[in-house]
Structure 1
């Protein structure tokens, strides 16, 4: 999915801000009785999205979001992650593998286990951001990158 591939969906009114990012958690039991569930559930569970446009100011009732939901356009959001330095080449198509580091500084947790991507996902290294300080790792050489699914 590229930035031009938008999906229309409904999100909680608190998330309905341009630039807001979220991970879609999937269907809840309360969704079963909602007439709008097909629009809400058009996203892939566990994936990260970014709101790019508010479609209307009309607030729709929701059994989950106490302040209702709004129609928005979203795109797949890039994932910032740590990957093996050997795979960190801008433009490279890779199958995502979490780093095999078992001993790392707590500050790296979100990079080692990023939300929105799973082992085996096909993605592109869209940007190599920086080397990760080896003092924070035990025996691994990692780079911080931006990945696009």
Structure 2
């Protein structure tokens, strides 16, 4: 999908989480093509940068550039044992209230409850111990849309 992003961020491979439009976007003529297709709290990656520039008061350099984005892959720590590369599953957040070093991998930004995911890569057992005693595996996920 095409969106607009600040000139300083318009690089292939750049990842971002869409946290919602700024107040200045409300009356902008580019609103639908800029933020209209993006989902709130989703992680995206820039896959292609286009040539055109537009003025924008929200971004640091005052300029946005059209880019093609897609949903970014997400790393996850999970207790599931029956997951293998290519398998699909529905994400359910773990039952954990610990605020540990792994929290961001167990509850990654861009992933929501009941998301349909595909395992792109199973990175195997997580080497460090979980405070809850869970046996964790590290996965890289894509999305089934």
Q: TM-score range by the shorter chain?
A: 0.7 to 0.9
TM-score normalized with structure 1 length: 0.85
Correspondence for 2:53 among 48, 54, 59:
59
Which secondary structure state, in structure 1, belongs to the residue aligned with residue 81 of structure 2? helix
Q: Which has the higher helix share?
A: 1
What does residue 94 of structure 1 align with? 89
**Which whole-Å CA distance do the structure 2 matches of 1:66 and 1:135 have between them?**
42
Which secondary structure state, in structure 1, belongs to the residue aligned with residue 46 of structure 2? strand
**Which whole-Å CA distance do the structure 2 matches of 1:144 and 1:49 have between them?**
20
**Which whole-Å CA distance do the structure 1 matches of 2:17 and 2:39 have between them?**
9
Q: Deviations over 1:23-49 (max 9, x none)?
A: 111222211121111111111111111
TM-score normalized with structure 2 length: 0.88
Correspondence for 2:44 among 37, 43, 49:
49
What does residue 113 of structure 1 align with? 107
Matched, 1:82 2:77: yes
**Which whole-Å CA distance do the structure 1 matches of 2:75 and 2:30 have between them?**
32
**Greater alpha carbon shift after TM alignment, 61-70 vs 134-143:** 134-143
**Which whole-Å CA distance do the structure 2 matches of 1:108 and 1:76 have between them?**
22
Q: How many residues in Structure 1 have an aligned counterpart in Structure 2?
A: 141
**Which whole-Å CA distance do the structure 1 matches of 2:98 and 2:38 have between them?**
34
